Structure 1
Amino acid sequence: MGIFDKFKSNRAAQDKAKKASDAAEKKINERTGGKYENHVDTGQRHVEDQLGMSRDQDRGRDRPDQP
């Protein structure tokens, strides 16, 4: 069992990671004036999906997949 397997089963750690991820996204968008907002969101979504943190389902969002 690897470190990410433990992370995927720990809901408290996932919630903490989501908050940190959202804070980082907000800070990046502030610093770039939102210029790369779509790229940042796509990257954040990709990382969260890889870690098993399905953010759209947890937050009640229905976003279409980006091309």
Structure 2
Amino acid sequence: MSDFMDKAKDMADKHDKQVDQGLDKAGEAADQRTGGKYDEQTDKAVDMAQARTGEGDQDR
């Protein structure tokens, strides 16, 4: 399992901008499904996930 995680992290590091865009889209989808009820928590979770992949948020 460790080998899989290493490969996944490597892939995320190499494609950081695409990963960040995917996380943004996932956050937007969650906001739409909940009617924005958890917008603040969703934004915080997306920001935390982006900080853990590559060099952080590449869309800003």
Structure-2-length-normalised TM-score: 0.71
Distance 1:5 1:33, change over 3 A: same
- Matched with 2:47 is 45
* 2:12 paired with 1:7: yes
- Matched with 1:65 is none
| Greater RCO structure (CA 8 Å; 6+ sep) | 2
Q: 1:26 aligns with which of 25, 28, 37?
A: 28
Q: Name the CA distance, whole Å, in 1 between partners of 2:11 and 2:34.
A: 34
Structure 1: which amino acid aligns with 2:12? F
Could you list the runs of 4 or more consecutive aligned residues of structure 1 that deviate by over 3 angstroms after TM superposition? none
Q: CA RMSD in A?
A: 2.1
Runs of at least 5 residues in structure 2 that lack an aligned partner in the other structure: 1-5
Runs of at least 5 residues in structure 1 that lack an aligned partner in the other structure: 60-67
